[in-house]
Structure formats: structure tokens, C-alpha cells
Amino acid sequence: MNQSSKRQMQTPRNLRADAARVIIAVIDQGQSMGQALPKAQSAYHDGRDKGLLAEICYGVMRQLPQLDTQIRRQLSQPLNGKKRLLHGLLLAGLYQLKHTRVPPHAVVAESVNACVALRAPGLKGLVNGVLRSLERDLDQLKSEQFDAEPVQTLHPGWLLKRLKSAYPDQWTQIVSANNAQPPLWLRNNASQQSREQALQRLAEAGVEARAEGNGDAILLPVPCDVTSLPGFNEGALSVQDLSAQHSAHLLQAQPQERVLDVCAAPGGKTCHILERQPELAEMVAVDLEPRRLERVQQNLDRIGLRATLHAGDASRPEAWWDGQRFDRILLDAPCSATGVIRRNPDSKWLRRDADIAQLAKLQSAILAAIWPLLKPGGTLLYATCSVLPEENVGQIKAFLKDTPDAMLSPIDQQDTVAKPGWQLLPDAQAGDGFYYARLVKQA
């Protein structure tokens, strides 16, 4: 047994210490929550512990500038170097004090105990003193108004500037939706049951649910463990946001067609297309990373669906394409994810302004590379979970201008060549921010 393993066995497991490690991994090391959190959660078997760990970490990411500002006031000098994990611990502690129902004495006690797990027992007094001081001023901290706009809005300055420019009359609503807890949307599997049957089964199980949006969407006002829902493990229900569910409906796949889903992981849209049209000739799903394709296969297996999976670069299809063209293509392009910040609040702090131009360049390259794979008369649906025009309207306008055989297939009356596509903004009571543009290849 190596020394690291021995230390892990000797160090007690502490949920607040694990939260501190995840928080610092994100804000200092650039890891995403999708990378850091599951590793920490794997040490816990109780679903409540996993849920609390996720709530603390995601909550800190939503409230980060305000929490950070209020903690730094309490410190005579920054906690850097080996003490940096203690800063993450204090962020987790203050979030719990301000935004959860965890009793304050439990927050303080568990945070102090976490110092041992973080190998900093000598700093117990510091953690205890800071959190008790914050607890005493809690009412004032909860009502504090911040002068700096990025702190007040919980958004980085570069993103605020872009949102104000693109949506001068709506940016405050977008920011507000981004800061809200996301609703839980389910997708009903129409090949197994009607939405009415799904709602009846949920009602019989005592689960509050209602039909919303398109023909497959179900909203759960009160989040729950989805694996306990009737039919979930058999594929009758899946978790998918309302806005993302529009993909299969807009693509309109028909029997015996060959369909391609580009940048497919984790596979929700792939599965939805197959659920809506089980008589496809072939469903092909491509993603860059083999590990992400494992998630696609897991979703297919749970629902009982089949697809051909390829690991490959979407901008270089010659490495994986068999030469047979497709009737329909869904291109869910890599993007800034600025429409799903409420689900991925860490992205606000991981993304940089310079990333947008790079992403737009990549999207353009993928779109140009994938277009030749579409049959004449075929349909390509371009999608992003972004609200930024550079990745959406601007991208499609440029493509239509540069591609003579590409024609816009309007989604609604506002979808014109002058302003192509359908831009959905995040809504605290509805779907995420999403963009769709439907293109047809002229014969």
C-alpha cells in the first residue's frame, strides 16, 4: 500500500471537506463540476449525502462573487497555497448559512471538523471564528447590496457586456433566470406510453407532475430521485430539458431514413429521435470522446434502443464516415453553454471572453465539414445551448451566404434569412436557453 492510500485510510471522510476540494478544483484548477463532483460523490452511498454535496457545490458556484466578497472581509490575509482549501471550506460554510436550512451550529461544527480531513487541524480556530462572525451578521449579509455589477448580478463582466449588447431589453431577465434553480423536466417515451398514461402513473405514485410544452414534455414542480419514478429504469421516462426536447420534433425524421446526430453525447437527443421515429433505417451518433460515447450507449441500453456509434472529430468526417449520405442531420454544435448557466453555474467562471470567437470558428468548421454528408433534399438542424448571436444567428447567416445549395426552412414567422433561426432564452419557469436553425439542401 502506498503512502497516499494509507493517508486516505487514516483521514476521516467529511462531506464539507469534499465540497471544499470540489470548489477549489473548479475555481483554481479549471475543472468543471462535471469532472470534479462525480469523483467526490463516488465516496458516498447515501443519496442524501450525494444530494447535499451537489447542492453545496452548485450553490457556491451560483453565488460565488458575493460569498467570496463577504468572506474576504473576515480575513486579515488571503488563504493561499496549502491553506487554499480552507477558503473553499469557508465558501461552502457561508453558502449553507445563507441559503440552506442546515442549522447554523451544524454548519460551524461540521466545517471545523473538516479541518482535520483537510490536514489543517491548526486552523480550526480560524474556521470557527470566521463562520461564527458570519453567523452573527447573517441578516445583514443576506440583505447586502453590492456596488460592483458582476458581484451584484453573479455574472462576470465580459458576459454581462455581451448580454447587454445582444439583449438590451431582456438581459436582466436572462441574468435572473441564470441565477435560479433549474426546473426538472422529463421526456416521455412516446414509443412506450402516451404522455397521459405517464402522468397517470406518476399520479398513482404520488408524484406531482403536469404536461407542458411539446407533446413529450412533463414538468415536475418538486424535484425527486428520478430513478424511483415509475418506468424510468425501463426507459419510459428520461430527464431532458424542455428546450432540448424540441430537437426531435424540429428534425421530423421519417421511416426508413438514415439520420446522423453530430456531437451526440450524452445521447438524450439521439434517444428522443429514435423514440419519436422507431422505424429509421439507421441512427448514427458521433462524438469526439470515446468516454462520452459510453454515456450515449448507457442511455440507449436503458431505453432499449439501438444506434451506430462512432468516436471521431466532427470537423474531419472522412475519418469515420462510410460515404453514405444522410436524410437528416442534427448538429448540436460545441458552444459557450451560455443558455444553460443555471444548470452549469461553474461555466460562468470557467469560460472566457476570448473563447467565443474560437467556438464560433469551430462551429463554422464543423458545419462546413458536415454539410456534404447530407443528401440533396435533406434537412440539417443546427442547435446550440447558447444565447450569443455570434454562435447562432451570425453563424447561420454566414453559412447561408457562403453555401449556394443551403436554404432556410423557417421554424416560425420570425425565422427569416435576415434573422435566421429560433432563439429561446432561459426562463425560470420554462426551458433553457437554446438556438435552432433548420436548413434544407437544394436538390
Q: What's the CA gap between 82 and 118, in Å, rounded?
A: 10
Q: Which residues pair with 138 in a beta bridge?
A: none
Q: Are 395 and 408 in contact (CB under 8 A)?
A: no
Instruction: Give me 94's grid cell.
Output: 457561508
Q: Are the beta carbons of 424 and 435 closer than 8 angstroms?
A: yes
* Phi, psi dihedrals of residue 79, rounded to the nearest 5°: -90, 100
Q: With 0-12 CB in 10 A as exposed, 13-18 as middle and 19+ as buried, what is 376?
A: exposed
106 is in an annotated binding site: no
* Residues shown for the chain: 443
Cα gap 118→134, rounded to integer Å:
21
Alpha-carbon gap, residue 199 to 205, rounded angstroms: 10
Q: Choose, from 57, 115, 335, 385, the residue flagged as catalytic.
A: 385
Question: Is 265 annotated for ligand binding?
Answer: yes
Which one, of 442, 329, 321, lies nearest residue 379 by Cα? Answer: 329
CB 324 within 8 A of CB 282: no
Q: Is 268 annotated as a binding residue?
A: yes
Q: What angle do CA 94, 29, 315 make, to 5 degrees?
A: 125
User: Do residues 440 and 377 make contact, with C-beta atoms less than 8 angstroms apart?
Assistant: yes
**From the CB of residue 265, how many other CB atoms can be counted at a distance below 10 Å?**
25
Q: According to the annotation, is 215 in a ligand binding site?
A: no
Backbone conformation region of residue 119, classed left if phi is above 0, alpha if psi is from -120 to 50, else beta: left
- Confirm or deny that 313 is annotated as ligand binding: yes
Residue 369 annotated as part of some ligand binding site: no
User: Which of 76, 95, 81, 79 has the alpha carbon at shortest distance from 16?
Assistant: 95
Q: Is 264 known to sit in a ligand binding site?
A: yes
Is 269 labeled as ligand-binding? yes
Distance CA(437)–CA(382), nearest Å, equals 5
To the query of whether residue 57 is one of the catalytic residues in this protein, the response is: no
Asked if 110 and 15 touch (Cβ cutoff 8 Å), the reply is: yes
Beta bridge partners, 238, equal 187
Helix (H) or strand (E) holding 207: none
**Residue 307 · residue 269 · CB < 8 Å:** no
The answer to whether 262 and 329 have CB atoms below 8 angstroms apart is yes
The amino acid present at 67, given as its one-letter code, is: L
Which residues carry a binding-site annotation? 263-269, 287, 313, 332
Which residues carry a binding-site annotation for S-adenosyl-L-methionine? 263-269, 287, 313, 332
Q: Which residues are catalytic?
A: 385
